[in-house]
Amino acid sequence: MQDFVRFSGGAIIGRLRISLPTTLLANSQGITLDFFLGKYIFYSDVITSIEVKGTSKIAIHHTMHQYPERIIFISSNSERKARQIRRLLPHLYTQKNPAISSPRKGWPVRWQFVSFSLAWWNSPFLIASQYPEINETFPLSVITSILTFVGTLLVMRFPSLQYFVVTPGRHIGEVKHVIILVSFLTGIISLSMVIGFIAQVIQQS
């Protein structure tokens, strides 16, 4: 019997659907889900069940509190692939065991941080509408993007900052994929804006 299986597809991590290529690797040691925003490793003793959802989704139920509760691999022929995974991990059950993996309550992110983030991201547009001369000197959206990019890096690096982001009792790993995505997007936006601003200054000089 083959001692491992490897499948390609997509994923749903928390509330975020990942359309980029995702690889699921399963062997007797556990399951590894590898995709653009990171890698999730589940050893066999933390996997409570593999659940087939429809014809193209495989939910991985687990006890890793530092991972998002909802982790789903998307690929065709999910029933057949789930059977292959279970053969490698025979202790798995088709139904979730609530005594082992209890559902989490509430959002992993503080509502205060969400409110602040929304206000922060929209602040350049509000300021620019009131004080257009400030925005003409140096676009405030560039500053916002750069500081957001730096902020995401600092949050991932320093646990003391994570206190202001994560709800008490939850783990930063539950939203790590979102932070990485925001960091990547704001990094690209910041770079393109800075290049565009420099090109505009050179053209006007």
What CATH number is associated with residue 21?
A: 2.30.29.30
CB neighbour list of residue 64: distance below 8 Å, 6 or more residues apart: 40, 42, 46, 173
Q: Is residue 95 part of a domain?
A: no
Would residue 99 count as lying in a domain?
Answer: no
Per the structure, the complete domain to which residue 8 belongs is given by 4-88
DSSP 114: H
Residue 134: predicted pLDDT: 66
135 within domain boundaries? yes
Give the distance, in angstroms, between the CA of residue 160 and the centroid of all CA atoms in the same chain: 20
Select from 107, 117, 193 the least CA-distant residue to 148: 117
pTM assigned to the model: 0.72
Q: Does 94 reside within a domain?
A: no
49 with 125, same domain? no
Same domain, yes or no: 118 and 197: yes
Element (H, E) at 120: helix 111-130
Kindly tell me if the per-residue pLDDT of 94 is higher than 70: no
Q: What is the pLDDT of residue 141?
A: 81
Mean pLDDT along residues 117-144:
77
- Same domain, yes or no: 118 and 155: yes
Cα–Cα dist 46/36, whole Å:
23
Whether residue 127 is found in the same domain as residue 178 = yes
Kindly report which listed range (122-126, 185-189, 191-195) carries the lowest average pLDDT score. 122-126
Residue 93 pLDDT exceeds 70: no
121 and 200 co-located in one domain: yes
200: in domain: yes
**Number of domains making up the chain:** 2
Same domain, 73 and 147: no
Confidence at residue 78, expressed as pLDDT on a 0 to 100 scale: 93
State the pLDDT confidence band at 13, using cuts at 50, 70 and 90.
very high
Same structural domain for residues 165 and 199? yes
